[in-house]
Amino acid sequence: MKRIASLSISFAALIEFAIERTRFHLWIVAVVAIVTVLWNVVGRALRSHMDSQKHDNSESVSRG
């Protein structure tokens, strides 16, 4: 009976460790996903801004 209790406690500790480790990995995945989305949004905005500036500059050069 004592051995079963010991195994149960060990198994519970192992499950708790696995859950904590999974939770940590989920945080890492979430942070990477958020950074990736922000990187793409900022990249698109900057690209759009730079393209509009290039377009404005080419118009001013062709007018001059």
What is the value of pTM for the model shown?
A: 0.56
- Which two structure tokens, joined as six digits, stand for 38? 């922000």
Q: How far is residue 42's CA from residue 34's CA, in Å, rounded to a whole number?
A: 12
Length reported for the chain:
64
Read off the pLDDT band of 13 (50, 70, 90): very high
Read off the pLDDT band of 15 (50, 70, 90): very high
**pLDDT 10s digits, 24-63:** 999 999 999 999 999 999 988 888 878 777 766 665 555 5
pLDDT score, position 16: 94
